[in-house]
Amino acid sequence: MGEDVLTCIEGRVGRIRLNRPKAIHALTFAMCEAMIAALLSWRDDPAVDLVLIDHAAGRGFCAGGDVVALAKSGAVDGADARAFFHSEYRLNHLLFTYGKPTVAMMDGITMGGGVGISQPCRHRIATERTVFAMPETSIGLFPDVGGGRYLSRLPGRIGHYVALTGARLDGANCFALGLATGFVPSEGIAALKARIIEEPSAAARIIAAAKTTPPPAKILELREDIDRLFVSDRYEHVLAALEADGGEWAAEQREILTAKSPQACKVALRELAESRKLHDFADEMRMEYRIAARVVQRPDFAEGVRALLIDKDNGPRWDPPTPDAVSDTLIDGIFAPLPTAEEWSPLA
């Protein structure tokens, strides 16, 4: 694993570089543990003023977690999958509560686990190549790694739309929604990183000087339709609204949702509703871990990974197969507290 994530100190900057380009830097348990170790070692180190997170090579920042490995674990006893989620969420929480400035370069694909390690950072830089998404409902999962918090706090019902459909947001959209704090052309990223490493104490000023005005955010043009059609926390009501609308865009979204796991969509809506009530990020992570520990062993996760990533037939057979077959009792059980000894906990 040693080369899957590179950590070092350059000048007064702690650097974390994802280095698994063939998998678009999808995170593994060992990668999470390596990042945690580096962050802990730098947390109280007076020689480190700032932490910079990017990818060393390839076309994306981070495509998520290694879900094929997680599905294989879920098909047996789920122990390895739970260990991964426990470590990943500790990494997310550590970044969220980190005392030193952090910078994430969201250049290219930033999905799932990539969202989890970029959104907690103080400075989040998008480019014209940024592709931000939480596509978990396609594989029977849910928007985790803090996704409940981030999406539930987007304007109107945009987060609910993104959570259900897995809609992809470009850099301009990310900046307009606050998912990115700055927009910099990709050709300027190397120079920006060099300047930050040269003078980390002036990172905020350096980033501000490098920012450019992004193109118009197309997501905002859809705001009225999104808020109207995705207004309900009841999945059946969202589907009915899309069906009744009669417009082309609504029909497209209804068609997209036919391919998603009904269970995952109901979990996502419940998650966002609950996340709005949670103020402590540790409580968010604790809730998400309960969900992950259970859904990783439910039929839809293995089936979604099989259909989209292994056999690639794009024909998942969901179980339960329809939204009305996903009972409130089932969803309640997914969200229920775990036995005390099995609950998630942050790093001491």
Cα–Cα distance measured from residue 286 to residue 23, given in angstroms and rounded to the nearest whole number: 28
Cα–Cα distance measured from residue 177 to residue 154, given in angstroms and rounded to the nearest whole number: 7
Alpha-carbon distances of 105 from 26, 127, 162, 188, 230, rounded to whole Å: 16, 9, 21, 11, 31
Catalytic residue among 4, 33, 136, 300: 136
Catalytic residue among 88, 107, 144, 300: 144
Q: Which amino acid is at 58?
A: G
Q: Is position 14 annotated as part of the catalytic site?
A: no
Cα–Cα distance measured from residue 164 to residue 169, given in angstroms and rounded to the nearest whole number: 14
Cα–Cα distance measured from residue 260 to residue 296, given in angstroms and rounded to the nearest whole number: 16
Q: Is position 113 annotated as part of the catalytic site?
A: yes
Q: Is position 248 annotated as part of the catalytic site?
A: no
Name the CA radius of gyration of the chain, rounded: 20
**3-class secondary structure, 15:** strand
Q: Is position 144 annotated as part of the catalytic site?
A: yes
Residue found under tokens 């259900």: 164
Catalytic residue among 14, 65, 78, 116: 65
Helices (H), 277-335: 281-295, 299-305, 328-335
Residue 258 contacts by C-beta under 8 Å, 6 or more apart in sequence?
none
Catalytic residue among 60, 113, 114, 146: 113
- Positions annotated as catalytic residues are 65, 113, 136, 144
